[in-house]
Chain A
Amino acid sequence: MRSTRKLAAFAALGLTLAACSSEAGNQAEEEAASAPTVAEEVDFPEGSTMAELAGAGSITVGTKYDQPGFGLLNPDGVPEGFDVEIAKIIAGELGIAPEDIEWTETVSANREPFIQNGQVDMVVATYTINDTRKQVVDFAGPYYIAGQDIMVAAGNPEGIQGPDDLAGKTVCSVEGSTPAQNIRDNYPEANLVTYDVYSKCADDLANGNVQAVTTDNVILTGLVAGNPEGFELVGNPFTEEPYGIGMAKGDDEFRDFINDVLEESFEDGRWADAWDRTAGAITGEEAPEPPTVDRY
């Protein structure tokens, strides 16, 4: 009796495994259809970063793992999103297939040290280009222009239309972020509350402890997508946050190369296609006009 029962258990396990693997197979096929082109023959100047990476056949990319639409770790342990697709396009031009990219999680506070220490070859992580950061790292791009916006409870009970309406209200953001600093500097009448992650801000908004959440519109979009009945986006961006690709300072050859690749992808539709499959799929909005690359 016992052995039959064991056998049955094994059979059940086998069936489940088979079901799982066929599911994985389907996913792989779907992904193959949308995979970026990988250059077959690559030729780069001797000694350049491109030649080094192409020769090694792999590249280490830092991205966020908690940003729906841009960089979010899926249950299989692979990040997906717009940032991830941009990185795949660049890797493809280096002759590196998506599966040969080594992903590293970078959060806002560790992006510069990771680049400076060479732990990552480049960072594509909703990384706003600014002058302080340019002192320690270089930026290719921008490949997207985000803007600071406001998220409110569904129905906008407080009637918040823009940052000036935040005066006297409690608004939530993340400690150390550019949007939080912007509120502190330019809208001091707003009562700012800062957590360490945006999900806590969303909890507080749902609880009614705060009346608004403010940060880049792309992040808010992800939060609204998570609770469309509870939240809504004001949809009136009041800053410009150019997202760039962070890389080691002084490697102008590599920066020019990435800028060339970005411009090509703007032209040939790969950029818009990446948008439609990731962030665009969440917002339901069409790809915006690509930004102009800033070759400083």
Chain B
Amino acid sequence: MGFLTDNADLLWSAFLTTLSLAVTSGVCALVLGTVLAGMRVSPVPPLRGLATFYVEVFRNTPLTVVFFFLVFGIVQIDLSFPSRFIAAVAALSLYTAAFVCEALRSGINAVPPGQAEAARALGLDFGQSLRTIVLPQAFRTVVPPLGNVWIALAKNTSIAAGFAVTDLTAALQRLSNANADQLLLVFAAIVAGYLVITLPSAWAIRVIEKRVAIVR
């Protein structure tokens, strides 16, 4: 166990990096994904087309490729991110937003059309009916799929390890090579780090799902 206390600093900072990567990207992806979902159901064709294009590009591109582009590709057009952590957040957010958008859109489609029609009949415009009538109901039905997206995002952060961010997976690479005699312990510590993030999330998703369930 001495090995774990010796490397406690590294493990703790790696855990915090993974957690902050996941949380920051999660928030950004949720905001961007909601905007995109709104665009995809909007009555304005160019907005719909733009959002559809975005979703199809990012949903169908491997995350590693997105990372590669943001870290090495944009330098070719004289752009760069202030830090590699921010580049990683950008890659994870852009990628995950496409999935958030599609999850939300399925929720919007699940809201009975009568709700939107009633809102229009009461004189609400598109933005108002989306914000106050449709989206609140849509978010309730998409808690489980959004939970899936969140857990996938938490695990996808590991790709940042290959792009100069010292997260849990990077710590795994460093520790497993330096401590050949302690491999199982290294793995156990790293897996525990991820489980600390994902297991409570799964539990929280179940609780939220029950709380906000629509009784019909």
Contact = CB atoms under 8 A, between A and B. Distances in A.
Interface of A: 108-109, 112-113, 132-133, 135-137, 172, 175-178, 180-181, 193-197, 200, 203-204, 207-209
A92 B213 CA distance: 71
Interface string B172-215: 01111111110100000000000000000000000000000000
Given A175-B161, A203-B72, A207-B72, A196 B181 contact: no
Contacts of B162: 195-197, 200
B35 interface: no
A186 to B, nearest CB: 15
B58 interface: no
B54 interface: no
Contact of B163 (A133, A136, A181, A195): A195
Given A175-B174, A207-B72, A194 B164 contact: yes
Contacts of B72: 200, 203-204, 207
Nearest to B174: A176
A193 B84 contact: yes
A132 B80 contact: no
Interface in B71-114: 71-72, 75, 80, 84
B161 to A, nearest CB: 7
Contacts of B178: 132, 176, 181
B166 interface: yes
Contacts, number: 59
A193 B180 contact: no
B75 A176 contact: no
Given A113-B183, A207-B72, A196 B176 contact: no
B159 to A, nearest CB: 10
B183 A112 contact: yes
Contacts of B180: 112, 132-133, 135-137
Contacts of A112: 180, 183
Q: Is the interface of B mostly helix, strand, loop or mixed?
A: helix
Nearest to B76: A207
B173 A175 contact: yes
Nearest to A135: B181
A180 B75 CA distance: 25
B163 A200 contact: yes
A104 B25 CA distance: 38
B173 A176 contact: yes
Given A176-B174, A193-B84, A207-B75, A132 B163 contact: no
A209 B75 contact: yes
B170 interface: yes
Given A175-B174, A203-B72, A209-B75, A194 B181 contact: no
Nearest to A195: B164
A209 B176 CA distance: 28
B122 to A, nearest CB: 56
Contacts of A193: 84, 164
A177 B177 CA distance: 7
Given A194-B170, A196-B173, A197-B162, 14 more contacts: A132-B178, A132-B181, A136-B181, A172-B164, A175-B161, A175-B170, A175-B174, A177-B177, A178-B177, A193-B84, A193-B164, A195-B164, A203-B72, A204-B72
Nearest to A204: B72
A155 B26 CA distance: 44
14 contacts: A112-B180, A132-B178, A135-B180, A172-B164, A175-B173, A176-B175, A176-B178, A177-B177, A180-B174, A194-B164, A194-B166, A196-B162, A200-B164, A209-B80
Contacts of B183: 112-113
Contacts of B161: 175, 196
Nearest to B72: A203
Nearest to B75: A207
Q: Which of B163, B173, B179 has the most CB of A within 10 A?
A: B173
A89 to B, nearest CB: 26
Nearest to A137: B180
Nearest to A174: B173
